Amino acid sequence: MSLLIVGSIALDTVKTPVEEHSDLLGGSASYAAAAASYFSPVKLVGVVGSDFPKSEFDFWKSRKIDTAGVQQVEGKTFRWSGEYAWDMNTRETRSTELNVFEKFEPELPPAYRETDFALLANIAPALQMNVLKQIQRPRFVVADTMNLWIETTRKDLDALLPNVDLLILNDSEAREMVKETSLIKAGRRIRESGPRYVAIKKGEHGALLFGEDEFFSCGAYPLEDIHDPTGAGDTFAGGMAGYLASTVRKVTFTDLRKAMIYGSVLASFCVEAFSLDRLRNLTMEQINERYETFKLMSQFEGAE
């Protein structure tokens, strides 16, 4: 089934201790859509400026990503620039220019309104809610968020949560959201505030998934070299939502477990190259090979 994805579409400038590249495709929706496209047809919602490269529309077309919901307007595309510390674990934002994103008002094309699955990738919760209201009875809604919205638009976020089936956030965001050091307590408390399921991303330490009486924990794919961590979290969310949208029956906790592994697999590819370059032409064989590695590295019964 198809998956509607709304989020930011950006042109990023990224500096790591060894390389720097400018005006690369970025933004939460770009990463998520590329990742999800390996599992489900994607309907993309976002805004770009008149400077946005046509070649990226061609890329989306090649991945069967529907761009009827991407508005191209006069002005410059949203731009973000960041620099990573030597250990690649911390980064500093050098600049954020909202540009055409500042006045973005998502309006879904009629064909988008009956989508069964929706991923509200990381943007302001008011925009996420705006899009959600335009969809008729979605079967499953995934939302990603970040510390900025927890700190500045908490009311909007709280209003969104009861409409979300799966909330995805990272460890520091989870701790901040409920003022709780234990991630186990944090995950359970966030779940009680609305979303049916909560996934906490822990970077190199993997991810945790909380259901009502269910819990799942997975490690990260054992990568030695990371070239650009940008978008790993958006890719994780896209991989998860894309896999979920490919299931046919009611989403079960087992589907969510597998989705989390696929999200982790896609994120592991994402960080191996700058921007979303590594996500442009993966094969299902490559994806499934890493999925099998996850099986091997996490099973302890019958593993001989």
Dist CA 155 CA 241 (whole Å): 25
- Please pick, from the candidates 18, 54, 87, 93, the single residue that binds its own copies as defined by CB under 8 A: 87
Between 160 and 237, name the residue whose CB sits nearer to its own copies.
237
| Pairing between β-strand 197-201 and β-strand 42-48 as defined by DSSP bridges | unpaired
CB of 120 to its own copies, least distance (A): 24
Dist CA 170 CA 186 (whole Å): 11
Options 8-16, 100-108, 217-225, 274-282: segment touching its own copies (CB under 8 A): 217-225
- With binding defined as CB under 8 A, does residue 260 bind its own copies? yes
- With binding defined as CB under 8 A, does residue 303 bind its own copies? yes
- With binding defined as CB under 8 A, does residue 300 bind its own copies? yes
- With binding defined as CB under 8 A, does residue 284 bind its own copies? no
Q: How many residues bind its own copies, per CB under 8 A?
A: 42
Between 52 and 243, name the residue whose CB sits nearer to its own copies.
243
Q: What is the CA radius of gyration of the chain?
A: 18
Between 135 and 256, name the residue whose CB sits nearer to its own copies.
256
- With binding defined as CB under 8 A, does residue 215 bind its own copies? yes
- The per-residue DSSP string of 79-102 comes to EEEEEE-TTSS-EEEEEEE-GGGG
Q: Phi, psi at residue 218, to the nearest 5°?
A: -135, 150
- With binding defined as CB under 8 A, does residue 204 bind its own copies? yes
Between 67 and 230, name the residue whose CB sits nearer to its own copies.
230
Between 88 and 146, name the residue whose CB sits nearer to its own copies.
88
CA distances to 119, 159, 168, 215, 303 from 32, rounded to whole Å, are 8, 23, 13, 24, 33
First to last CA, the chain: 37
